[in-house]
Structure 1
Amino acid sequence: MSVINLEYLFKPRSVAVIGATNDPRNAGNIVMRNLMAGGFMGPVMPVSDTAEAIAGVLTYPSVKMLPKTPDLAVVCSPLDEVPEIIHSLKEGGTRGAVLMGSGFSGMSKEERLDIKATILKIANPPDIRILGPKSLGFMVPSLNLNASLAHANATPGKVAFISQSDSLFATVLDWALAKGVGFSHMVALGSRIDVSFADILDYLASDPLTRSIMLYVESIKDARAFMSAARAASRNKPVLVIRPGQALDTVLDEHKAWESGDHRLGDAIYDVAFRRAGMLRVENIDGLFDAAQTLGTPKHVYGRKLAILTNGTSAGILAADRLLAGGGELAGLADETVTAIDALLGEENWSRSNPVGIPFDADGKAYGEVVKLLLKDKGSNGILVMHVPWTAQPDLEVATALRDALKRSQRMVLTAWLGSGAAVQSREIFSKAGIPTYDTPTHAVRAFLYMAEYQQNQELLIETPDSLPTDFFPDTLRARDIVQHALDKGRTSLTEPEAKDTLAAYGIPVVETRIARSAKEAVIAADELGYPVAIKLRSPQIPQPFDMGGVLLDLETPERVWEGAASILARATRERPDAYIEGFTVQKMGRRPGAHELAVSAEVDPVFGPVLLFGHGGMAREMIQDTALTLPPLSMSLARELVGRTRISALLKGTPSHPPADIDDISLTLIQLSQLIVDVPQIASIDINPLYADSEGVLALGGKITIAPFEGDGERRLAIRPYPRELEECVSLKSGRHVTIRPIRPEDESTHRVFLSNLTDEDLRLRFFGVVQRDFDHKDIARFTQIDYDREMAFIATAQDPRGEPETLGVMRTNTRPDNSEAEFAIVVRSDQKGEGLGSLLFFKGIRYTKDRRTRQLTGQTMLENKAMQGLARKFGFVITPDPHDEDLVDMTLDMDTVKE
């Protein structure tokens, strides 16, 4: 939906409790007590037709009798009464409601769907935003607002927690209170008929009180909305997520299974979705808060190499063991570091390796000096400082000295002060200084590894992908014709030759294949293909002919083909007399000695849409179970990352006896397959097994494609919107120069950097409303070029420079609200291109795009002195008005209903 009216939920000035009661076990009584005990400063108005006062507050007999319109209504009445209550609230002007009443869990699937439709029809979100039904409520501690059924009040903090589970809501609250952790928001989503993960992520992404966001997720309903919101939020602040995983997929009850959809791929698809969105997945509640503590600091970890400093050898070894088991590395010490510590402590008084073991009675000065030396050593990505209690050396003295030594450090240092008593006070010293601190080395190491993984996910979000080969021109019409021809005949799958023709249309190398209905036709097909050949039985009742001897290889003569076909037919008739025999598949033998057998496939998940799978192939595929999956669309870097998550990737890098496989060709095949299932939505699944891969490239030996009728926009199936190629167009400037206007791509980073560097200081000042530093770093440029096409657009004008190299001449950007109500634009053209009409062309392109996606309004701001921009805006019908908040700015607004089709 959107963030519209969510402020009435999470920043209400007044609250009404509908269905309030004096029964202490009833939700209406619990939420009243929590609201009053929390200290909410606005009016709290209980509505009850049975009690005169509740929790010391006089009641009102009905919603219509309330003295003022509540911003937020907490509805505790039974669910069958909710439609009438929502109707009354809407008439009065209420904009937010939480549904806590009973009844939802006891309904059948049909009853749930019916009550959901009724409530939504009346509420008409975003007119009234609905949290729930079956919600435990929420808390906003900074407002002293506890509109929940929780047993305690959360303390104010910078962490937001959104939970799909009531029990996890209460558990996390208890854990946080015990650990002294505070929250900006705690939200229990309930059954999500309106307000969803995506809505709250969008809301919290710009909330100044929220430094990091934590999610407990069981299922996602709208994958596109979730991925778009999560990617946007994770660019602004850390987003951490916990999901039970395989156990959840096994034990989902009927109600939850209805909500979540039928995920054959189970937890694996959620894992890859979280990674693609730049979020960090953690294992448990402890890990959630450990990671939140470290990710909330401004320091980053750009690798998995850790240096460990400790006064206890065994404790250091345990920490190192946990590091290695988690996929981390022990950082090596530079020679100069070893020499310096030798001079400080003496060679015989420390371990001279990592973990850096120093004397058990080392004082604060020794700790501080060793840490300073380790900070100078660039061989590590972080440092863990541990301290084991020792009576002769006070914990606090060591902690204070270490804190002072780290005051100016820009590198990540974590601490683990073991024990209790003084160790607790030491950890408080570190917490106040902003130094991540833990009570066990296991927690500290886990937090470090989480930071490394999180940074890796963030790098995937902003990594500049390699350009695709320029000779990749898929024959989309050919592929669609093959699929449509099969659908017209009422079939649900392509024949093997049809499947391979479809793959070949997208540039995937395939082995030539023929269909034969008899032994005689098999010989004719073999003669046409050339020997040696393989033949395979075709029968819908025998999906795996190899298991019953229905596959013969390396047949080198017509006689061998004739005899082989006859023997296969005889065996099939004897062993499977019920099977209908369609004939044989005849295939030219693919000679690739030493090639790796891979498997590449694609299928459509009911929620996340098309999914790509890659891994070990051949007959042993099911036994080896070496598969990784990802969501399209893919770039070369994302395809390589998918390959790298499999065990067979180690073999693909080569061995002493085998050269490395062509990883680029494997990655290109993944991209081609990804593009095929996007371009032809009638394809339900693709399976290539085996896909031979060696130093010469790839070759598909087997290919299966299932199909089904499909109506509508195939791209809407994707969880992440792909590059909108249909928006490309060629235009001519006044000088006659040909220019392509198209959406920006991640691969445009280098040319966009040059474009920004070619803008004059005046161009930059007018574009960014002030003086701007020219040294844009990779992260800045990535934000310009790697956009979410579902809610952002950047049209660039590109042409060839005199050397034949591409150059960017101008850009028009729009950023659309999640509810599509408004888009904000910005435009800049290189000074040397002004007067060519390029600004008008870009402006017109952006307006047409905004109109086509049915956005209601296009708005922008410019400086009062920028008369050229204001003139261009007026030309296209924009209304120019002074900005009410800044006299140096003007607002430009275009109502899209006034724009002709």
Structure 2
Amino acid sequence: MSVRNLKALFRPQSVAVIGATTKPKAPGSVVMKNLLQANFAGPIIPVTAEHPSVAGVLAYPDIASMPMVPDLAVICTPASTVPGLIRALGEKGTRAACVMSSGLEMEKDSEGRSLLEAALAEAKPFGLRVLGPNSMGILVPGIGLNASIAPEDALKGKIAFVSQSGALCTAVLDWACTKGIGFSHFIHTGEGADISIGDILDYLGSDPYTRAILLYLETLRGRRNFMSAARAAARNKPILVIKAGRSTEGMAAASSHTGSLAVSDMVFDAAIRRAGMLRVQDIDELFGAVETLARSRPVKGKRLAIVTNGGGIGVIAADDLADGGGELARLPDEVVEKLSAVLPAGWSHRNPINIFSEADGERYAKVLGILLETKAVDGVLVMYAPTAMSDPEQVAEAVIKVFKEKTRANIMTCWVGSEKVANARRMLAEAAVPTFETPYAAVQGFLHLLEYKRNQEMLMEVPASAASDFIPDSGFVRDIINEVIARGDSLMTEAEAKAVLDAYGVPTIETRMARHPAEASRIAKSLNAPVALKILSPDIVHKSDVGGVVLNLETPFEVEKAANSMLARVQKTYPDARIEGFTVQKMASRKPGAQELIVGIATDPLFGPVILFGQGGVAVEVIGDRAVALPPLNLNLAADLVQRTRVASLLQEYRGRPPANLDALHSVLIQVSQLIVDFPQIKELDINPLRCDSEGVIALDAVIKVGPGTKGPHRMAIRPYPAELEEIFTMQDGSGRKTLLRPIRPEDEPNHHVLVSKMTPEDIRFRFFGLVHELPHSEMARLTQIDYDREMAFIAEYTHENGTKETLGVVRTVTDPDNEKAEFAVLVRSDLKGTGLGKRLLVKMIEYCHSRGTGVIVGQVLKDNTRMLKFVEHLGFVQTKTIDGDIVEVEYDLSKPPPTEPEPPEAQ
């Protein structure tokens, strides 16, 4: 991942067109025409040996003869010429190229490499970035850049559109122009051989000219790059995604139910949700959603009030809301009374609120004012159908006035119709009021807000690397896994799989192994209860499919008879299957309302381990009720996973049946999540069925598939809380107080507020370069909810005798995507100077960045903060430059070992 030299690509000051030509409709001709017509302010340099000039601009025969070094080169020549041109551009000093040529992967050079491999090899020594190949180009309307073969230019705007499809780019451009939608950037990635979607997200995420990012994706190559970049960018601005393709090929060879159910598209959906982005299905929805997110206020809940002058359109909107998982707000009695005072006697007295066809702007405003004052409503959809008794523009003016007065209100509008309401819609749009043409689109806009809110909440969740409320027997599990792999198997026996689950706190039913029917009979007699008999074979995963399961056997005789019949049946059906015997287990009593569920793990080819939950049983594939999530999970994420299934409603109380024990169910999901965090060797896992009732859960059957695993946090799409970085530090003030130094977590926010409140004014000025009384929740949340892949913050936490915890200090770094530079800041409570805490925090961060291979750590210090300057210089930092006259930048070269020698008195 890298944003190196992307500024030269997306905000160039000069452009060369390699292969410029006068031939009509040739790429080199179209690019030249587009650059000139877009009024690009910088030099445009055509390079061609065929013409002395192109489009009236003096041309140059080759790259070496160009009179200046262009920031960006657009290559429009045959594939065979590209590697040599890239080398020549690199030697010239150009730092970015857009390659429109196609077929580079198909042709080979003299060394047997594909031309694409050769081109990238030529670019690498110069740090030259390559967009494409097979890219239709880049448009940046704000600087007049149209370095593309698009048939028309883009309008100026603040939305970035990034697409892996060139055909879709031209279609969207045409569509957007007719709608008056503008762009900050319009980018076709082509084959994305060098510059990935993650790289582009890194650049656009911090681009001040971009308000929102729209993505059209077909494939992804760098999972961690994409997820880290997406999570970082989604904290700053809305990201909306269309993903084409719903392939199941990635799971075709799965051994478990989970493996076949957790198809790639579902996993991608889970990744989008966890990264805080919003997925949509088509172009209309894409642009509708971005306008909604950009113009609407964040919603607090899903209760929508619908105000309409026509009953029919209100009912349609209510149906669409119910279908999408929203909720009609229930009107409290006092709200109904207030509405009755301003509405005719025959009004609906319920939601949707029909205020009659003659309703004017004043009536709309009064109703809106009442609804926006109640806490029972999270959003209001204002609908209008044209009638002869009211003026759509006058009603729009009234709604706009309320919208501007109620700055925190969430108002959406839908003026139904065409010509008669067109001007009113324009008025609403110009006033930044979200407006839609149909009831469905309006309700969809509200649902987008709900989904986006949920996804942003998921983005902020940082699960621990190890659960705190149970201690698994990981050594026991490791021994089982090693034994299975050592004997050359990939599938555990049922007994082994249940032993693994039991070691991780998942309740299981007692299961014994029998080598032959007679032994199964003896085991059944010792259990003294009805039993379940199952075939035991490493070659048969779904035992019930081959008659390998018999339930409710009452006597030892019945067990032996069933075992003999089962053996004959299975041997006839699968003569080559290895039969190792049977498992015998006591039948679990089933209570009214108990549900059979499935919990499992699969390994996605792109995103790595995923967790599946849904309705289980033998018909699990037919029922198809499941949801997936990326591990690790915490309580909130586990609850969200359950709620995204239909079976969740059956786990609630209904018809006198008690609710299921959701706490126990959520615990199982967290424990399974922990299992996959701890053991990369586990490739697939099924608990099916997992019986769940009011008393708890119990795993009735289990399948676990193992194989060689890759250790380290990078095998997972979401890095868990790095508990391995925790350490105990003893204060060096003679008190002997022990302080826990650990990575920061979201729940540290309250104590962070307390830490800032205990700083002296001088220390506040030194740290924040000004007087700061307190940080708002949004800023403090940003500091405590971090992506450990890009950021790190270590806090010093002291636990008092009464159990209360206090934050004493913090050090943090934010690292650039290239891992070249980390910016640090350190803050220690004012009364703790001289305890050695600040030194240990900063040295700990230096050690961490050194271990990651980061290039340098830099920080900014006020010039008059002499104590801090002396402190960091003694640690090995050097002053590099002065900023604005009163700020000094200091830098630590991480190529040298972290400091270890004793330090003088502490600084802040």
User: Residue 466 of structure 1 contacts residue 636 of structure 1 at CA under 8 Å; is this kept in 2?
Assistant: no
Candidates 411, 424, 431, aligned match of 1:413: 411
Letter in 2 for 1:286: D
Q: Which moved more, 1:623-632 or 1:726-735?
A: 726-735
Which secondary structure state, in structure 2, belongs to the residue aligned with residue 858 of structure 1?
A: strand
What's the CA shift for 1:234? 1.2
Q: Distance in 2 between matches of 1:367 and 1:716?
A: 55
Instruction: Find the counterpart in structure 2 of residue 877 from structure 1.
Output: 876
Instruction: Find the counterpart in structure 1 of residue 810 from structure 2.
Output: 811
Q: Distance in 1 between matches of 2:548 and 2:17?
A: 71
* Distance change (3 Å), C-alpha of 1:696 and 1:784: farther
User: Residue 862 of structure 1 contacts residue 890 of structure 1 at CA under 8 Å; is this kept in 2?
Assistant: yes
What's the CA shift for 1:630? 0.4
Which secondary structure state, in structure 2, belongs to the residue aligned with residue 736 of structure 1?
A: coil
- Deviation string for 1:738-781 (max 9, x for gaps)? 2221212234344444444444444433322222242642x444
Which secondary structure state, in structure 2, belongs to the residue aligned with residue 214 of structure 1?
A: strand
Instruction: Find the counterpart in structure 1 of residue 164 from structure 2.
Output: 164
Q: Which moved more, 1:495-504 or 1:66-75?
A: 495-504
User: Residue 46 of structure 1 contacts residue 58 of structure 1 at CA under 8 Å; is this kept in 2?
Assistant: yes
Q: Distance in 2 between matches of 1:568 and 1:111?
A: 61
Letter in 2 for 1:275: R
User: Residue 468 of structure 1 contacts residue 636 of structure 1 at CA under 8 Å; is this kept in 2?
Assistant: no
Candidates 424, 428, 431, aligned match of 1:430: 428
- Deviation string for 1:136-155 (max 9, x for gaps)? 11100000100111111111
Letter in 1 for 2:828: V
Instruction: Find the counterpart in structure 1 of residue 823 from structure 2.
Output: 824
What's the CA shift for 1:526? 4.8
User: Residue 541 of structure 2 contacts residue 703 of structure 2 at CA under 8 Å; is this kept in 1?
Assistant: no
What's the CA shift for 1:409? 1.7
Instruction: Find the counterpart in structure 2 of residue 80 from structure 1.
Output: 80
Given the alignment of the two structures, is residue 399 of structure 1 paired with residue 389 of structure 2, yes or no?
no
Instruction: Find the counterpart in structure 2 of residue 668 from structure 1.
Output: 667
Given the alignment of the two structures, is residue 612 of structure 1 paired with residue 611 of structure 2, yes or no?
yes
Q: Which moved more, 1:72-81 or 1:798-807?
A: 798-807
Which secondary structure state, in structure 2, belongs to the residue aligned with residue 124 of structure 1?
A: helix
TM-score (norm 1): 0.93
Given the alignment of the two structures, is residue 483 of structure 1 paired with residue 481 of structure 2, yes or no?
yes
Q: Distance in 1 between matches of 2:463 and 2:491?
A: 34
- Deviation string for 1:448-504 (max 9, x for gaps)? 221222122222333687998644112223222221222222222222222222222
Q: Distance in 1 between matches of 2:460 and 2:290?
A: 21
What's the CA shift for 1:661? 2.0
Q: Which moved more, 1:840-849 or 1:698-707?
A: 698-707
Q: Distance in 2 between matches of 1:432 and 1:345?
A: 29
Given the alignment of the two structures, is residue 268 of structure 1 paired with residue 270 of structure 2, yes or no?
no
Q: Distance in 2 between matches of 1:813 and 1:235?
A: 18
What's the CA shift for 1:204? 1.1
What's the CA shift for 1:529? 6.1
Letter in 1 for 2:115: I
Q: Distance in 1 between matches of 2:461 and 2:683?
A: 31
* Distance change (3 Å), C-alpha of 1:107 and 1:813: same
Letter in 1 for 2:33: R
Candidates 438, 442, 446, aligned match of 1:444: 442
Instruction: Find the counterpart in structure 1 of residue 678 from structure 2.
Output: 679
* Distance change (3 Å), C-alpha of 1:587 and 1:433: same
* Distance change (3 Å), C-alpha of 1:81 and 1:733: same
Q: Distance in 1 between matches of 2:261 and 2:552?
A: 40
Alignment RMSD (CA, Å): 2.7
Letter in 2 for 1:197: I
* Distance change (3 Å), C-alpha of 1:345 and 1:583: closer
Aligned residues: 886
Q: Distance in 2 between matches of 1:726 and 1:469?
A: 13
Instruction: Find the counterpart in structure 2 of residue 20 from structure 1.
Output: 20
- Deviation string for 1:245-277 (max 9, x for gaps)? 53xx3899xxxxxxxxx9971211111111111
Alignment of 1:180-329 (within 5 A): 180-246=180-246, 249=247, 265-297=263-295, 299-329=297-327
What's the CA shift for 1:377? 3.3
User: Residue 813 of structure 1 contacts residue 825 of structure 1 at CA under 8 Å; is this kept in 2?
Assistant: yes
- Deviation string for 1:145-176 (max 9, x for gaps)? 00111111111111111111112211111111
Instruction: Find the counterpart in structure 1 of residue 689 from structure 2.
Output: 690
What's the CA shift for 1:573? 3.7
Q: Distance in 1 between matches of 2:381 and 2:202?
A: 35
Q: Distance in 2 between matches of 1:111 and 1:746?
A: 53
Letter in 1 for 2:502: A
Which secondary structure state, in structure 2, belongs to the residue aligned with residue 8 of structure 1?
A: helix
* Distance change (3 Å), C-alpha of 1:796 and 1:177: same
Alignment of 1:572-611 (within 5 A): 572-594=570-592, 595-611=594-610
- Deviation string for 1:615-661 (max 9, x for gaps)? 11122222211111000111110011001111111122233443222
Q: Distance in 1 between matches of 2:469 and 2:48?
A: 72
Alignment of 1:265-664 (within 5 A): 265-297=263-295, 299-348=297-346, 350-391=347-388, 393-410=390-407, 411-462=409-460, 470-523=468-521, 525-526=523-524, 531-555=529-553, 557-594=555-592, 595-664=594-663
Gaps of 5+ in 2: 251-259, 900-908
User: Residue 678 of structure 1 contacts residue 714 of structure 1 at CA under 8 Å; is this kept in 2?
Assistant: no
Q: Which moved more, 1:619-628 or 1:845-854?
A: 619-628
What's the CA shift for 1:532? 4.5
Q: Which moved more, 1:622-631 or 1:463-472?
A: 463-472
Letter in 2 for 1:385: V
Which secondary structure state, in structure 2, belongs to the residue aligned with residue 169 of structure 1?
A: helix
Q: Which moved more, 1:516-525 or 1:665-674?
A: 516-525
Instruction: Find the counterpart in structure 2 of residue 844 from structure 1.
Output: 843
TM-score (norm 2): 0.92
Q: Distance in 1 between matches of 2:781 and 2:110?
A: 47
What's the CA shift for 1:882? 4.9
Which secondary structure state, in structure 2, belongs to the residue aligned with residue 460 of structure 1?
A: helix
User: Residue 106 of structure 2 contacts residue 114 of structure 2 at CA under 8 Å; is this kept in 1?
Assistant: no
What's the CA shift for 1:560? 4.1
What's the CA shift for 1:367? 3.0
What's the CA shift for 1:709? 1.9
Candidates 716, 719, 728, aligned match of 1:718: 716
Letter in 2 for 1:101: S
What's the CA shift for 1:506? 1.9
- Deviation string for 1:664-720 (max 9, x for gaps)? 22112112211212221122111111112223322222121111123x434221111
User: Residue 463 of structure 1 contacts residue 782 of structure 1 at CA under 8 Å; is this kept in 2?
Assistant: no
What's the CA shift for 1:727? 1.3
Instruction: Find the counterpart in structure 2 of residue 257 from structure 1.
Output: none
Which secondary structure state, in structure 2, belongs to the residue aligned with residue 187 of structure 1?
A: strand
Which secondary structure state, in structure 1, belongs to the residue aligned with residue 224 of structure 2?
A: helix
User: Residue 133 of structure 1 contacts residue 193 of structure 1 at CA under 8 Å; is this kept in 2?
Assistant: yes
Letter in 2 for 1:515: M
User: Residue 796 of structure 1 contacts residue 811 of structure 1 at CA under 8 Å; is this kept in 2?
Assistant: yes
Q: Distance in 2 between matches of 1:112 and 1:269?
A: 37
Q: Which moved more, 1:330-339 or 1:103-112?
A: 103-112
Instruction: Find the counterpart in structure 1 of residue 95 from structure 2.
Output: 95
Q: Which moved more, 1:118-127 or 1:100-109?
A: 100-109
What's the CA shift for 1:324? 2.6
- Deviation string for 1:415-440 (max 9, x for gaps)? 22233335222222222222122233
What's the CA shift for 1:794? 1.0
* Distance change (3 Å), C-alpha of 1:326 and 1:471: closer
Letter in 1 for 2:439: P
Letter in 2 for 1:173: L
- Deviation string for 1:814-862 (max 9, x for gaps)? 1111110011111111233332111111111101000000000001112
- Deviation string for 1:511-555 (max 9, x for gaps)? 233333223443455567665443211234543332343323344
What's the CA shift for 1:896? 0.6
